[in-house]
Amino acid sequence: MTSRAGFGAVDKLPSGRWRARYTGPDGRRRTATFGAKSDARAWLATQQADAVRKVWRAPEAGLRTVGAYAADYLIRGDLRESTRSLYAGLWRLHLADHWGSTPVGDVTPAKVRAWHTAAATTTGPTALAQSYRLLRSILGVAVADEVIPSNPCKLRNAGTPKAARPSRALTAAETQALADRLGRDGRTARYRALVLVLAFGGLRFGEATALRRRDVLDDGARLRVERSVRFFDGRWLVGEPKTDAGRRTVSLPAAVAAALADHLERFVPDSTDALVFGTRAGTFLHSANFGQTFRRVAEAVGLPPVRPHELRHTGATLAAATGASTKELMRRLGHSSAAAALIYQHAADERDSQIARALDAMIGTASALSEGARA
């Protein structure tokens, strides 16, 4: 017994189940079986509605696994070597076991949320945020291929790591105190100029530690940023800066330029390829090793807990406080979007409000003295 309703057909099988059949927009015949005739008709109606709305997708397309999409994503030609290595590690350590064999059509927002909740108990905030962003990007390819209608990675702020505490900007005086303390110890003197360059130049740590002597221009007045370095999976990876805007030339304050010139004379070989901020052996400086020294010195000068990355935060905030425009901050910091630069402008706006409040207090004091004199 077969019934037709203009789109496809429904017939009863010898087993007593109901079979729905139709020809898809791609010209291929498709079938599905159901326990009830009403379910078969409902399925046909859904397929027809998708075809009319031009959102129909071949059911078998969603059977391709997340792992297959990940394999293609990781060999993309537009990925930097360091980025590819990072993604490969994230996939292997945090995603493959859970998602590797899952068909992309079976990934739902609820399943992503359940994975994220479970992963948060065993994964650090930065790795978790990076893994979530990678999963979202991989599934974004399936969306672009029109295999799934939308990206199931819909968790708000899941791609942004939650820091244990907010970043803070040091003052110029605090930065100088750190640098001077480093400079007074023969074991750490080679880090003095690095702190000043990070804080007043706003460079990323990987950008600063990838600098070669040939990248120092005009006796230390300018730095040419063309590459970045990071240690990952047991090896050093040198590549392009983090963003396209990262290739830039940064001008340094005269005092920092003088400190850098002194640093070059004392600690850097004459070769144009010599690392500006390398180790005594002339190799790349590891962020973990520098971080230990930095935290000890910060504690010694009486600062609250502070991370090396906050030197870049300091440079950005101090630059914004000079009145630099958003575009000027973007160029100086190597940002490709205005969003990050605006963060530091907001910080400068808050400082301006503090100045206004301090002036108001001064006005109040002056008024009180004036009234006292008249009395």
94, 312, 313, 332: the active-site residue: 312
Residue 193's contacts (CB-CB under 8 Å, 6 or more residues apart) are: 179, 256, 259, 260, 262, 263, 277
- Which residue among the candidates 190, 230, 263, 335 is catalytic per the annotation? 335
Catalytic residue among 227, 309, 331, 351: 309
Q: Using only the alpha carbons of the chain, give its radius of gyration.
A: 30
Q: Give the C-alpha separation, 254 to 314, whole Å.
A: 18
Please tell me what DSSP assigns to residue 212.
B
In contact, 153 and 116? CB cutoff 8 Å: no
C-beta of residue 358 within 8 angstroms of C-beta of residue 328: no
Question: What is the enclosing helix (H) or strand (E) of 36?
Answer: none
Whether residue 204 lies in the annotated active site = yes
Annotated active-site residue in 344, 346, 351, 374? 344
Catalytic site residue 312? yes
Dist. CA 151–CA 217, nearest whole Å: 47
Q: 92-98: which pairs have CB atoms within 8 A and are 24 or more residues apart? A: 93/127, 94/119, 94/123, 94/127, 94/128, 94/131, 95/66, 95/70, 95/131, 95/134, 95/135, 96/67, 96/70
**Which residues have CB under 8 Å from 71's CB, separation 6+?**
none
Catalytic one among 204, 248, 313, 332?
Answer: 204
263 is catalytic: no
Annotated catalytic residue 80: no
DSSP H helices in 33-171: 37-52, 66-74, 81-90, 96-99, 109-119, 125-144
Q: Which of 163, 333, 138 is nearest to 241 (CA)?
A: 333
Contact 108, 152 (CB under 8 A): yes
Q: Is 98 in the active site?
A: no
**Structure-block tokens of residue 28:** 């291929």
Known catalytic residues? 204, 309, 312, 335, 344
